[in-house]
């Protein structure tokens, strides 16, 4: 693969964003009313459907636990029951309690104080918490704490690998995730509104992923089908 081809990959990914906006419109993610609700959703959505998360959030809202103070007050056992619809409720409840404990111990219970920490330092601090992987940490940073970081997920991985933008990585390891993040960062590097675009692009890749880029690709009618010609051109 030539250096010229590698340089074109971020440009193609940026173009995909434009095609997806034209096809789907602005997504206005994350679906939540408060920053803390975003954080709850980022934890609860691990390895489950968003429909299941909605049920858990409804339980938390009804119990008055959809806030920092509310989650702090509810017992661990009570929290487990409230988030049971999301699955892995014991692990997730302990992880949420650990997040609030960190918030209280280091930031006086303030998300604003947490958000003021430098991005890379805060990212490492989040990754040190139980139940927080790279995607969860970056979702919290981007959507709840307003740091301009890309979020990479399984849909994005499928898209970039199927379009030849990255070589498939073995398993879902850190190197593979960081390669997706770096490709996305380069795609929007020159845009002064890259934080907003990272937000929109992640939501748009979820939209096209659900419609066309599942475990089996459904390329007919996909807004990104035109890019496959570019992939073939690069291979030629």
Q: How far apart are CA 25 and CA 193, in angstroms?
A: 17
82 and 44 within one domain: yes
157 and 137 within one domain: no
CB atoms within 10 A of CB 172: 12
Domain boundary pick from 144, 169, 193:
144
Q: What is the pLDDT of residues 131-182, one digit of tens each?
A: 999 999 999 999 999 999 999 999 999 999 999 999 876 556 677 899 999 9
Domains of the chain: total:
2
127 and 58 within one domain: yes
Domain boundary pick from 144, 168, 185:
144
138 and 162 within one domain: no
Average pLDDT, the chain: 91
> What pLDDT does residue 234 have?
53
202 φ, ψ to 5°?
-60, -45
Average pLDDT for 87-109: 97
Rounded to the nearest angstrom, the gap between the alpha carbon of residue 27 and the centroid of all alpha carbons in its chain is 14
Q: What is the CATH number of the domain that holds 185?
A: 1.10.1670
190 and 140 within one domain: no
178 and 137 within one domain: no
Q: With 60 as the cut, is the pLDDT of residue 6 above it?
A: no
Q: What is the pLDDT of residues 32-82, one digit of tens each?
A: 889 999 999 999 999 999 999 999 999 999 999 999 999 999 999 999 999
> What pLDDT does residue 171 have?
55
Q: How confident is the model at residue 229 (pLDDT cuts 50, 70, 90)?
A: low
228 and 161 within one domain: yes
Domain boundary pick from 83, 109, 144:
144
Q: How far apart are CA 133 and CA 92, in angstroms?
A: 12
Question: Is 0.75 topped by the overall pTM?
Answer: yes
131 and 72 within one domain: yes
Q: What is the CATH number of the domain that holds 77?
A: 1.10.340.30
| Greater pLDDT, 22 or 8 | 22
- Reference 79, options 69, 67, 87, 89; nearest CA is 89
User: Any idea how long the chain is?
Assistant: 236
Beta bridge partners of 217: 213
> What pLDDT does residue 173 have?
66
> What pLDDT does residue 167 have?
82
CB atoms within 10 A of CB 129: 17
Q: In the chain, what percentage of residues exceed pLDDT 90?
A: 84
54 and 24 within one domain: no
Range of the domain at 158: 3-28+151-235
> What pLDDT does residue 1 have?
45
102 and 43 within one domain: yes
Q: What is the DSSP string of 35-76?
A: HHHHHHHHHHTTTS-HHHHHHHHHHHHHTT-SSHHHHHHS-H
156 and 134 within one domain: no
48 and 14 within one domain: no
Which residues does 154 contact at the CB level (< 8 Å), separation at least 6? Answer: 172, 209
């Amino acid at each position: 693969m030539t250096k010229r081809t590698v340089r074109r990959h971020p440009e193609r990914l940026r173009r995909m964003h434009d095609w997806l906006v034209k096809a789907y419109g602005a997504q206005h993610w994350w679906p939540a009313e408060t920053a803390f609700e975003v954080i709850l959703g980022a934890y609860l959505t691990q390895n489950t459907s968003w429909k299941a998360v909605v049920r858990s959030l409804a339980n938390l809202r009804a119990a008055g636990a959809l806030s920092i103070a509310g989650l702090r007050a509810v017992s661990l056992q009570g929290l487990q029951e409230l988030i049971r619809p999301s699955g892995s409720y014991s692990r997730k409840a302990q992880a949420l309690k650990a997040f609030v404990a960190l918030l209280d111990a280091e930031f006086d219970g303030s998300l604003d104080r947490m958000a003021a920490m430098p991005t890379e330092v805060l990212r490492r601090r989040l990754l040190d918490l139980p139940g927080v992987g790279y995607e969860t940490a970056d979702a919290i940073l981007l959507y709840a704490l307003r740091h301009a970081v890309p979020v990479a997920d399984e849909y994005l991985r499928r898209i970039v690998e199927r379009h030849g933008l990255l070589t498939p990585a073995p398993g879902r390891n850190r190197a593979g995730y960081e390669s997706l993040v770096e490709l996305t960062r380069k795609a929007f590097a020159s845009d002064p509104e890259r934080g907003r675009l990272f937000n929109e692009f992640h939501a748009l890749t979820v939209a096209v992923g659900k419609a066309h880029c599942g475990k089996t690709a459904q390329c007919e009618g996909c807004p990104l089908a035109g890019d496959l010609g570019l992939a073939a051109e690069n291979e030629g």
